A and B are shown apart, each in its own frame.
Chain A
Amino acid sequence: MFPLTKESKCVARLLLNTGTCPRCIFRFCGVDFHAPYKLPYKELLSELQKFLETEKDELILEVMNPPPKKIRLQELEDSVDNLSQNGAGRISVSQDGSIASKNSNLNVCNICLGILQEFCEKDFVKKVCQKVEASGFEFTSLVFSVSFPAQLSVREHAAWLLVKQEMGKQSLSLGRDDIVQLKEAYKWITHPLFSEELGVPIDGKSLFEVSVVFAHPETVEDCHFLAAKCPDCFKPAKNKQSVFTRMAVMKALNKIKEEDFLKQFPCPPNSPKATCTVLEIECAHGAVFVAGRYNKYSRNLPQTPWIIDGERKLESSVEELISDHLLTVFKAESFNFSSSGREDVDVRTLGNGRPFAIELVNPHRVHFTSQEIKELQQKINNSSNKIQVRDLQLVTREAIGHMKEGEEEKTKTYSALIWTNKVIQKKDIEFLNDIKDLKIDQKTPLRVLHRRPLAVRARVIHSMESHYVDEHHFRLRLKTQAGTYIKEFVHGDFGRTKPNIGSLMNVTADILELDVESVDVDWPPALED
């Protein structure tokens, strides 16, 4: 059943005669259910023409001859001008005298510029899907995002004013909300087509996004008059090429007075010569997160690549040894590595290891069984003896918060090998075991002062345990507050960490070796092997 009622005839005729496509006509006549839009274009056009023909007044027209006087002259001339401007087809007279352009189905709609004509039909969707399939992404749902040229809003606005005026003649009103939005109608038609072609549902929450961007270079300047009328709506933004964004244009259209608009922009909008072009068809997958804990067994490995002036100072890094494998398997574009604190190049991380999380950007492969993840962990562990990984698992973005929380709040335990200039006996280090919750003040260590603000940090050494080695050496296990500089607590950093082991023992002390024994964060959840 044809969705338009008798009341809409005048509006429909007006729009068709001024170069508007059937689907846009439906939109302006408030057709708000999906089925009519999904019908094939040709069918819609012929049904529409049939619908409009059942008027009693007949129109007889011959292009080159002056029109008979009984025809409403102005309307006819306008529509003739419009149709001939399209450049396609001639005016022809059909048997019952209605005006129809011979090749009217080739005319580009003056409102949607072709979006609701060829660009929502199966052939176009197939073309997009071919690109999606060629891109090699693994997905079980998708979100489809489409971007239209900003000038469409201007044409929409003009059409609304036109229709509003026409309906006003019948004492009917037309609010902006009575019109079906272009994007909405577009999605009604295309979503099922995408779903069918790719075999997955459309889901607004999907991480996999297919985006299509349309442009219409011919009418780019349609918006420019708005900048003159409402200059404060158009502020140049650094990242955007054009100041005429959809948002800015919409804002200006809401502001501008009807009379001013009509002075500057043709109403009805004129028909374009060409249809829209597709600027880009892109696919991207939202980031996925992999977490785990790492042990570091090398005293010659930085956490992140150490490169100065383009020259790599030390081979490899913790980050690369773990992430490179993940990058490959997830077929991701890039990664971001973060961890719950970090250790120096020459410090080992023992015990349960340090929590880390890796964000894999635009991964092409995202589904892994826990068995596959276990195998991936094994692969990483087999590839290097400098690091080992455990509890490798997929996590959500929200979970990363737990890790950073650990950095500020949780305790860490360390083991240090300490040298003293003076000779020591076992009894000289026993007192350290009894010191609990020792408060220390640490000025920013000289070794990081070039890149950190100068400040004094109050920290707590919760407990210590000393083990005698020989006259000049002992091992010290310490449990400290997060953010404590252990090396500086041992050697005193020119007296800028007070108290320090040297001052407590009244010797000159230095640190020879440091190991992280545990990072007391209970995330990510431990996995059974």
Chain B
Amino acid sequence: MATDSEAAEPAVPSLVDRYFTRWYKADVKGKSCEDHCILQHSNRICVITLAESHPVLQSGKTIKSISYQISTNCSRLQNKVSGKFKRGAQFLTELAPLCKIYCSDGEEYTVSSCVRGRLMEVNENILHKPSILQEKPSTEGYIAVVLPKFEESKSITEGLLTQKQYEEVMVKRINATTATS
């Protein structure tokens, strides 16, 4: 990763750079630093991931397990989608929980959808190997794929931060921490 925030663009734009726009939500559900990053494809599909500032991705954290059982009656693993119009999908609101991450230090984190739409799939690869989530949070370690309604494809990003806005929030946070320490 570039150490200089003003580094030249990487020689090769990544897959994410080429096809997706990054949107952010900071302090999701009021929980400090639990930042999410939503990758929005040009075809309106959204991939929900953890932002690099999320506690789970900080060094020293070990994930014990991940669960998609978000309530007694609802498991995101049971989501079944059929046909071109994705019938049968669980419908998500912005605050809908996607999964719970249990860490070895006893901390528990809930990942939320942040966008409204139909749940396409959750990432089963991180169930079997949680470390992928920390190694490649923006690609193989994604949490879920959500398909917003066609009419809402533009409006879903209204409550989210652009890359630039997110970076400003990060700067403010660091300054605030520095100030209080």
Complex formed: what's the CA distance from A495 to B49 in Å? 14
Comparing A50-58, A230-238, A451-459, the segment that makes contact with chain B is: A451-459
Complex formed: what's the CA distance from A454 to B19 in Å? 19
Is B108's CB within 8 Å of the partner chain A? no
Interface residues as binary, A418-451 with B (CB distance below 8 Å gives 1, 0 otherwise): 0100000000000000000000000100111111
Are B120 and A453 in touch, CB under 8 angstroms?
Answer: no
Are A510 and B41 in touch, CB under 8 angstroms?
Answer: no
Are A494 and B47 in touch, CB under 8 angstroms?
Answer: yes
Are A494 and B142 in touch, CB under 8 angstroms?
Answer: yes
Complex formed: what's the CA distance from A180 to B84 in Å? 55
Interface residue from B83, B86, B132 paired with A495 (Cβ < 8 Å): B132
Complex formed: what's the CA distance from A452 to B12 in Å? 29
Is B82's CB within 8 Å of the partner chain A? yes
Is B139's CB within 8 Å of the partner chain A? yes
Are A510 and B125 in touch, CB under 8 angstroms?
Answer: no
Interface residues as binary, B124-155 with A (CB distance below 8 Å gives 1, 0 otherwise): 01000000100010011010010100000000
B54 proximity list for chain A (CB < 8 A): none
Is B14's CB within 8 Å of the partner chain A? yes
Are A449 and B84 in touch, CB under 8 angstroms?
Answer: no
B41 proximity list for chain A (CB < 8 A): 446-447
CB distance from B23 to the nearest CB of A (A): 16
Is A512's CB within 8 Å of the partner chain B? yes
B43 proximity list for chain A (CB < 8 A): 446-451
Are B145 and A495 in touch, CB under 8 angstroms?
Answer: no
CB-CB under 8 A for A491 and B120, given A446-B41, A449-B145: no
Complex formed: what's the CA distance from A448 to B81 in Å? 15
Are A495 and B125 in touch, CB under 8 angstroms?
Answer: yes
Interface residue from A449, A492, A510 paired with B120 (Cβ < 8 Å): A449
CB-CB under 8 A for A495 and B44, given A447-B19, A453-B83, A454-B121: no
A443: nearest chain-B partner, CB-CB: B121
Interfacial residues of chain B within 72-100, with CB under 8 A of chain A in the complex: 81-84, 86
Are B120 and A452 in touch, CB under 8 angstroms?
Answer: no
Are A454 and B81 in touch, CB under 8 angstroms?
Answer: yes
Binding site secondary structure of chain B: loop
Interface residues as binary, A483-526 with B (CB distance below 8 Å gives 1, 0 otherwise): 00000000110110000000000001010100000000000000
B8 proximity list for chain A (CB < 8 A): none
CB distance from B48 to the nearest CB of A (A): 11
Binding site secondary structure of chain A: loop
Interface residue from B12, B47, B123, B147 paired with A512 (Cβ < 8 Å): B12
Are B81 and A494 in touch, CB under 8 angstroms?
Answer: no
Is B38's CB within 8 Å of the partner chain A? no
Are B84 and A453 in touch, CB under 8 angstroms?
Answer: yes
CB-CB under 8 A for A450 and B45, given A419-B12, A495-B132, A510-B15: yes
Complex formed: what's the CA distance from A447 to B20 in Å? 10
Are B84 and A451 in touch, CB under 8 angstroms?
Answer: yes
Complex formed: what's the CA distance from A453 to B142 in Å? 20
A508 proximity list for chain B (CB < 8 A): 136, 139
CB-CB under 8 A for A495 and B45, given A447-B19, A510-B14: no
CB distance from B72 to the nearest CB of A (A): 26
CB distance from A392 to the nearest CB of B (A): 35
B15 proximity list for chain A (CB < 8 A): 491, 510
B16: nearest chain-A partner, CB-CB: A494
Interface centre among A451, A453, A454, A492 (most CB of B within 10 A): A454
CB distance from A280 to the nearest CB of B (A): 40
B47 proximity list for chain A (CB < 8 A): 446, 494
B83 proximity list for chain A (CB < 8 A): 453
B19 proximity list for chain A (CB < 8 A): 447
Complex formed: what's the CA distance from A495 to B121 in Å? 13
Complex formed: what's the CA distance from A447 to B42 in Å? 8
Complex formed: what's the CA distance from A449 to B46 in Å? 11
B15: nearest chain-A partner, CB-CB: A491
Complex formed: what's the CA distance from A152 to B45 in Å? 60
Interfacial residues of chain B within 1-31, with CB under 8 A of chain A in the complex: 12, 14-15, 19
Extra contacts, 18 of them, besides A453-B86, A454-B81, A494-B123 (Cβ < 8 A), are A443-B121, A446-B45, A447-B19, A447-B43, A449-B145, A450-B43, A450-B44, A450-B45, A451-B43, A452-B84, A454-B121, A494-B140, A495-B123, A495-B125, A495-B132, A495-B139, A508-B139, A512-B12
Q: 16 A-B residue contacts at CB 8 Å?
A: A443-B121, A446-B43, A449-B120, A450-B147, A452-B84, A453-B81, A453-B82, A453-B86, A454-B82, A454-B86, A491-B15, A492-B139, A494-B139, A494-B142, A495-B132, A512-B12
> 9 tightest CB-CB pairs across the interface, nearest first?
A495-B140, A450-B43, A454-B81, A491-B15, A419-B12, A494-B139, A495-B125, A453-B84, A453-B83
